Every structure is written in C-alpha cells, then in structure tokens.
Chains A and B, each alone.
Chain A
Amino acid sequence: MGYSGARGGLEAILAAEDLVRRARDHAAAPWAPTEQITARFRLAVDRVMGEAGLHHEDTSAAALRQAEGDPLEASHLVRAHRSRLPRLAVSEPVDPDEMVVLRRIVPAFREPDGPQLLGRTTDYTGRLLEQPSGPPAPAPKPDTEVRERTEEQRRPGRFLDLLRKLDLVVDHRRVDDPEPVDITRTPARPPAERSAALASMARAETGALVALWYRSILGPDGDIHEVTLGEVRHGRLPLRVRHPHTGNPVCVGRFRVTEAEAIEDLDGADEDRSRFDVGYGLCFGHNERKAIAMANLDVANRRFGRTGPLEQLLLLTTDGLDSGGFLEHLKLPHYVTFRSMVERKQAMRAAAEAAEGPRVAEPAGQECR
C-alpha cells in the first residue's frame, strides 16, 4: 500500500479558506471600509476597474480588500462577479470630446488650445518616502482662492484637432461607422478590427502592456520608432443609455477615463512621410502608463501588426486573467500527464538499449518539427 497521493478533499479546502479569512478579516488592525480604500488607494482601485473592464469604484475597492491588495486577483473577482449579472443595456456611443478634464498635458506643444493642467499628480514631487507616525494634522486652507473654471478650461480643445488644422496628420477616419467589436462576446483573434485591439488593450494587465510597449522599443522586433506624446488627459465622461420605455438617451452617470494620443513619425516607403500618424489610448480610471502605452501600440499595430508578431501579442498575451490563470494552473495536479511523459522517456530508453532504434536521438536535443 502506501498510496495516499495529494488528496485534500473538502476539508483541506475549507481549512485553507478559513486561514485566509482569519488572517485577512480578523487581523489585529482596524477594518478597512470601502470608502477608505477608494479614497486612499485610488490608483489601485482605478487599475482594477480598467483591468476588470467594469467601472464601479466600490466594487473594485471591495475586490481589492478581498484580494488582499492583489490587483490581478481583484480584477478576477470583479470579472467573475460581472459574469453572474445580466447585460441590461448597451450605452450610447461615448464622445471623448465631452470630457470634463481633471488633468491635461500636451508635451508636444508649448501653448496648445486650452490649458496645460497639471491636476492631481506626483510627477514633479520628489519621491521621498514619508513615514508619518500618525494621521496628518487637519489640512490647511488652500492659499489661493479656488476659482470657477472656464468652459475652455473644463473642456479644452484637442491637440489632434490642431495637428489636423495644420494638415500634419494622416487621416484614418472612416466614412462608414462600423459597430465596434465586443471582445467579451466575440473572442479577439488576429486578424482583428482596430476596435478589437483597442478593447483588448483597454482591459489588458497594465504591466503586461507596458512590457510589450517597452519590448517594442528595445526588443529585437521593435515596432515603435519615435515616441512623442501628443496629449494625455484624465477626466469625466457622461454615460448615456436609452430609456427602456421612451427610447430617449438618458444620462445615468459619469465615469472617469484616461485618454492619450501618441504621435508617430512615419518613415516607411509606402507611408506619407510628410505627415504624422497618431495612435489612440483610453482606459477606465486614472492610469496614464496604460493609456500612453496603448496609444503607441495602436500605431505600431496599424503599421506592423500583421507583418510581425505584434497583433497576436496584443490580442492574445496581454490579458492578465488569461496569462495569470494559465500560469497558476500549473499548481493543479498533473500526475496523469506526467506519467504519460515518463512512460515515453522510458520506452525511448528501452528501445535505445535494445538497439532497435534506427537512429540514436540527436545529442543536441533539437525540438522535433
């Protein structure tokens, strides 16, 4: 006898769940309410909203708390939660020009239409670790008087419109208005519409997308050539759905997005080298890293997606749940498949020992193909 195997059964599972609950929910520290998480861990909440593809701060915060702060695990919780719910409506198309900006930077121009609005950012804050011993003193009153923003400050002109006015942009606008691909219903596989690639990037794991962006610059098959950021903005957009009875569009709320437009210098033989190409990025919440990577990769995908591996990489390798899940599944039992592999190794060796094989296996161990 002596065979027990790695069999845990229900008891072990329940015990493991109990361990997690005890340590997490009953830790000797004050409970973290949802509003605490949305207020103090805003960027983590936003990142989960983007990677989960669901804009709801409280849901995202609850998921982060349950996932002990792991953004990928939190995204999984939110997406699995979404799978339980029916789809009630599809929103009306969103016009990003309606965005009320909270922050807006145009690096490529000193004085664009509208303001350069730094907003809430630590871009120019020294990265010095603060280790306060307790809560800060009550906030002092702002030195400057808060003025009502003008309409131009709230909704500044778009840098791309300026470039278009200067006739410096290759025009990719289509006269037809195709329905965008819904990647949650139709799996995005190459060759895919641009909308499918954009949607895949909007839901991609931030780190994966940034890594692919960086690979496209430094990697052996780099597809991004000149990186100039046209514009990045963070702001609020209205969400409208059609009323089920009247059929009229009704604004049911607002959602925050980060939007980026990246400029690519065209240099290909078949390209209009007298103009620039502009790529587009947009994702839920405040996540500039992701939106900028997305905008650069959008152009790279249009230029080189089909001639190299980029389109397949974008569509099939950047989803955090896909890659993370596949990696994690290696922890599941694999002793049946492993047994089958061992059997072939032993059979190969037995055949070689009997010297009946027509040929000794190649010492170089090249992959069979």
Chain B
Amino acid sequence: MTSTLDALAATAEDTLTLGILDEGAKREIRRATLTAVCVPGYQVPFGSREMPVARGWGSGGLQITLAVIGADDTVKVIDQGDDAGVNATNLRRMIASTTGCADTADTREATIVQTRHRVPEEHLADGQVLVLQVPVPEPLRGVQKSVVECARMHAEGDYSAMWVSLYEDLVRNGMITRTTGYPVLVDGRYVLATTPIPRWDVPRLHDSEHLSLFGAGREKRIYAIPPHTDVRPLTFDDVPFEVEYTPGAACVLCGHDDVFLVAAGTSGAYACSDTEWCARVREADADLTAHRDRAPLHLLPDPATRLTGTTTTTPRPQRARPAPTPGQDWALRVDGLGKVFGAGGADAVPGTGPESGSAISPTTGAIVAAWDVSFDVAPGEALGVIGESGSGKSTALACVIGDEQATAGTVRLAALDEGRTDLLTLPPEARRRLRIDSMAVVHQNPAAGLDLRVSAGGNIAERLTAAGWRSYHGIRERAAELLDRVEVPLSRMDDPVRTFSGGMRQRVQIAKALATEPPVLLLDEPTTGLDASVAAGVLDLLRGLLSERDIAAVVVSHDFAVIEALTDRTLVMQLGRVVERGLTDQLFHDPHHPYTQRLVAAARR
C-alpha cells in the first residue's frame, strides 16, 4: 500500500530533476521575466528562491540564468569584468554542472552572459542575453527610504526628488558625483538603477541589440531592458553625463585607453577590467575600430563644458493658460463643501453650528468641522477666510488642497477641464499633480512646504523639475529671479533652508509656490508664527506679489489685520459655518454679525 506522501511524490516525479532550482520555480521566474520585458524598467516582484549562494552573491542573476538557460546554451560568467575571479568561477561551475550547458570566456560565443558590475567591452549582438546581478534594485532609495513612498513615486512617475538630488549635487560639488549604478530613464517612463555598473557601461544599455535582464534575489525583483529601448542617464539638458576618465591612463597589458580601466597594483598603473577583451586585443583577435566607435569617448569629462560652457538656456516649458470661458469669471469655485470627522457623514450635521453653539453632533458625536462652505475667486482677486481656531477655515482649505477628504461639496478649477471637473472626484495622484502648476499652497509652517535639508534653490527646483524643467541653468535663473523677488539674498540661494530664519523660510516657501505661476494660490496662516515686524515684511511682500499677478488667492487667517492687508472679499467662519460674507473693507468697518464684531475688535486692539 502506498502512503499519502508516496502518492503525492508520484504526482511530481516527472519534474524531479535535482538541479539547483525546481522546474516550478523556473516557470515562475520566466513568467516574471516576461512581464519585465513587457514593461521596460519596471521592477517586477517575484518569489525569489534561496540559492546555494548567499543573498547578495548573485542569487537573483543566478535564478534568471537558471530559468532561461537550456542545455544548448553557452554561458559566460564575469565578475568585475573578469572571467577568472573566484565569484565568477564559482557561479560558472554551478551553472554548467547543473544544466549541462557549455561555458566560455569568449563573449562572442556566449548566448548568456551573467555579470556582476560590468558590461563586456565586446559588442553584444541580437540574440545574446546579458544577466546582471543586482544588489540594490531601487534607484530612489538614496532620496526616499520608505518603500511605500518609492512605489508611489514610480507609479506616478514622480521623480522630482531624484532631480533635486542631482541639482544639489551640482550646486555643492560643481559636478554630478554619482558613481556606479547611475540612474537612467527607461523608455521615457521608469527610472531604473543600472546597478552597479560603471557609468562607462551605461550607454551600452541604450538602443542595444541584446536583451538585458536584471535580477535582485534578496529584494525579490526582476527588471529588464529589451533590445532597442531608449535608455537615458538622468542629467540636465545643459549638464553632460560623464563617464569615468583618468587622464593619461592606459592598460599596462594591451596599451589601450578606450576601455574601462581598474587599478593594477599599487603603483598607480591601470589595466583592463575586461580581461577576456584585453587578452584578445593582445592576440590581435579583436575588432579595435568597431570597439573604439562604441566606446563612450564623447562622454569623457570636459571641465570646459561641465557647467560654465553651456549657457544656452533651453526654453522654459510654458503652461498654456486656458482662455477664460465666457460667462465664467472664477479661477476657483467651491460649492457646499463639508467635512465631518467621525461617524454619520451628512446625518451628523443637524444640531451643529453657531445656532447650536457646538460643532459636535448631538446624535453621533462626530465633529462637523466645516459645512456648506461656498465661495469663488476670480483671477487677480484675493479672498479672505477668517475665524478663530477651530472655526473650520483650515479644514475647508485642507479639503480644497486635498490633504483632507471632503465629506460633501464640489471644488472646481477653471484651469482644469474649463471648470467642469470636480476635484473631489479625482484620485489622489491627480490631485497631487494639480499642485505642481495649477494650485499652489503656502503652509503656516514652512517645514510643511519645504525640505529644510535642501538649499533654497533646490526647493524651487523641486517644483520646477516636477513641472518638466530640465535645464540646470534655466532652473537656476528662474530660482534666482524668484528669490530676488521675495527678497532672499542671492548669496543664500545655495544654503540649506534649515539655516534660514523663520521669515526667510516663509519667503522661500512663497517663491516655491509661485515658481510655476499657478493660477490659484492658497495661503494658510502665512504669517502666523513670525515676529510682528517679520510678519509685516512678509505681508508687504504678499500684497505686492498678489497685486502684480493675475492670480486668484485664498488667504486663511485668524487675524483680521492679515485679511485686511491682503484680500478684497472675506468669509467669516464660526463653528464650521460661514456666518457673514462681504467686501473686506465693509466687513472691517461695519461688521454685522456679533462674532465678526469680536474679531474686528481683536484686530484693532
């Protein structure tokens, strides 16, 4: 009688070939690899198996190779460009002995080249597969440690943090100092880590004839660059991408300098990292002319053009301002906006508001923070929203911005779909995109709108690169122009914002908000928290900025002095409701509602 376990084993007998990886796993990995080829540059998660080599020792590359290889294949394995290093030797014997394939050192004979840290100097042709071992697949990890946030950035194509890091690098060091694993944009969509091959090899991934497969075993990701895919190193239009270069260095063995060189010995000599290529050069078995044409000699560092030589400013991306729709004079329109924190939604509203003297629902206990808030703002107009702490003004603004999910109402922008689309129906990524150039926010706390570790110019670069600016000089000119306008000394442009005073930080935040000339500007208590004299300066600045621009502004404040200085019309909010509205001047001089009278009295004191 057979046992249950024997019966189970019998079902799998045909697949019981004791290799390194079972056949089911290989199928799974091939499927993930095919997905990766279909979506170039996208990191495909896969059920990475443990290999007889440690995580980090090529377990990802090994899994791909074992999954795609057959007995008819010829495999070449290199580490640092060398066929004879211990790691390469070890992986090669493992692959060859368990699959029955042939192995070679000659790149031309190989059907599969598994590599760590290099692309061979020899041309890789149509039909050849390059398998790269990847220790760290996430190109954004240097600028973002949260994997959830990295996933969001990839999904939305939101790479401005990466651009800012390149900008800051240039500002601080005068050049891009990234070394290996240089980030590239694949097929115009995904940023990928060319991990970690030298910059010298990066151009070989662009429009290649061969297929590149990247395997990260530890992080359980596979990604691919199919043949003839557009692969661009991330750099500004006017800052050339640079490959490694050591003046005067040449290989001590073959004498050539158009190859990637590594230190040879400790006496300052250099040698080819690709040992097989070097050996064939010495045996006169290599096409030197074709190799020289392929070599990235046009990308050697040229201090003359690095930063100073190229002053050609690429034209700024211009936002097409939609022509005003006839009969519609608003830039932002909010109708019946409401926000309830807690249970009940709209059912929680009865029994709350100024008449009831409470924002807490007597039936559900929910807080009705704002309800039935409606207003519109025209281009060139500033609207004030005033109320005490807890009156709901900031909540209403947060719902317009998208930081809070509104319970009721509609929010429309003239700049979006001629005002036909309700912002509240848009997914979060679409609302985030609107904040790049359609609706800017100035927060009470500058830290909410700025990255304090980044320079003043870099903070502005964040907004500009998100809007598509790719000229380093163009970005610097624009940032300087903005900082000059908000009266931040240009000598401070390259200093981290954390070294700035509160008033100066707020000026930088205002400059950033205006960087893309958004048609709508939302200001949440822009001067609260500043010294009175500093606040007065910022207020003066804002008044000037609003008067010289055709911008629609909403200013939220508890302070009538701020509202009076900046706005034309005003809403007064109390316990979540609008209790009075009118021209700011009239409200200030002749307040009707007792609550407004109290606010005015407080401002006059």
Contacts and interface: CB of A to CB of B under 8 A. Distances in A.
A340 B165 contact: no
Nearest to A189: B147
B116 interface: yes
Nearest to A358: B174
Q: Which of B25, B86, B118, B177 has the most CB of A within 10 A?
A: B86
B8 A89 contact: yes
Interface stretch (B302-310, B357-365, B589-597): B302-310
Given A83-B51, A86-B23, A343 B135 contact: no
A276 to B, nearest CB: 24
A316 B12 CA distance: 33
A326 B9 contact: no
A239 to B, nearest CB: 11
Interface string B290-316: 000000000001010011100000000
A329 B57 contact: yes
B492 interface: no
Contact of B175 (A83, A190, A328, A351): A351
Interface string A343-358: 1101110111010111
A369 B174 contact: no
B116 A187 contact: no
B393 interface: no
B55 A325 contact: yes
B501 interface: no
B179 A329 contact: no
B244 A321 contact: no
A244 to B, nearest CB: 5
A337 B196 contact: yes
B490 interface: no
Interface string B162-201: 0011001101111101111100000000000000111110
B198 A337 contact: yes
B454 interface: yes
B87 A332 contact: yes
Interface stretch (B257-265, B426-434, B548-556, B568-576): B257-265
Interface string A100-116: 00000000000000000
A203 to B, nearest CB: 11
Q: Which of A82, A312, A336 has the most CB of B within 10 A?
A: A336
Given A8-B86, A344-B179, A3 B271 contact: yes
Interface string B230-250: 000000000000101110000
B84 A83 contact: no
A354 B308 CA distance: 13
B57 A343 contact: no
A12 interface: yes
Interface stretch (B40-48, B326-334, B441-449): B40-48
A220 interface: no
B5 A252 contact: yes
A99 B264 CA distance: 64
B54 interface: yes
Interface string B78-99: 0111101111011001000000
Interface in B14-44: 15-16, 18-25, 28
A368 B172 contact: yes
B175 A347 contact: yes
A366 interface: yes
Given A187-B46, A321-B50, A332-B116, A356 B198 contact: no
B172 A325 contact: no
A250 interface: yes
Nearest to A320: B55
Contact of A244 (B8, B49, B308): B8
B265 A2 contact: yes
Contact of A325 (B56, B148, B451): B56
A140 interface: no
B253 interface: yes
B50 A80 contact: yes
A91 to B, nearest CB: 11
B325 interface: no
A187 B15 contact: no
Given A185-B47, A245-B7, A343-B245, A10 B168 contact: no
B295 to A, nearest CB: 16
Contacts of B533: none
B173 A357 contact: yes
B239 to A, nearest CB: 12
Contact of A336 (B19, B180, B253, B496): B180
B224 to A, nearest CB: 17
Interface in A64-99: 76, 79-80, 82-89
B270 to A, nearest CB: 9
B164 A325 contact: no
A336 B80 contact: yes
Contacts of B125: none
Given A79-B50, A358-B171, A84 B22 contact: yes
Interface residues of B, number: 102
A6 interface: yes
Nearest to B55: A325
Nearest to B246: A343
A260 B169 CA distance: 50
A3 B179 contact: no
B19 A84 contact: yes
Q: Which of B54, B143, B174 has the most CB of A within 10 A?
A: B54
Contact of A322 (B4, B12, B85, B218): B218
A327 B267 CA distance: 30
A186 interface: yes
B22 A362 contact: no
A347 to B, nearest CB: 6
B82 A361 contact: no
A207 interface: no
A359 B174 contact: yes
B146 interface: yes
Q: Which of A5, A327, A347, A368 has the most CB of B within 10 A?
A: A368
Contacts of A6: 85-86
A333 B15 contact: no
B80 A335 contact: yes
Contacts of A190: 147-148
Contact of A88 (B8, B93, B181): B8
B156 to A, nearest CB: 17
Contact of A339 (B16, B45, B262): B262
Contacts of B109: none
19 contacts: A2-B265, A7-B82, A84-B19, A186-B45, A187-B46, A309-B146, A325-B55, A328-B56, A329-B55, A333-B80, A336-B262, A337-B179, A340-B199, A343-B246, A344-B179, A348-B175, A354-B303, A357-B173, A359-B172
Given A241-B4, A322-B218, 7 more contacts: A82-B50, A88-B8, A88-B12, A244-B4, A336-B80, A356-B303, A368-B172
10 cross-chain pairs, A with B, having the tightest CB-CB distances, nearest first: A325-B55, A329-B56, A357-B174, A3-B264, A79-B50, A187-B220, A325-B54, A185-B47, A83-B49, A340-B179
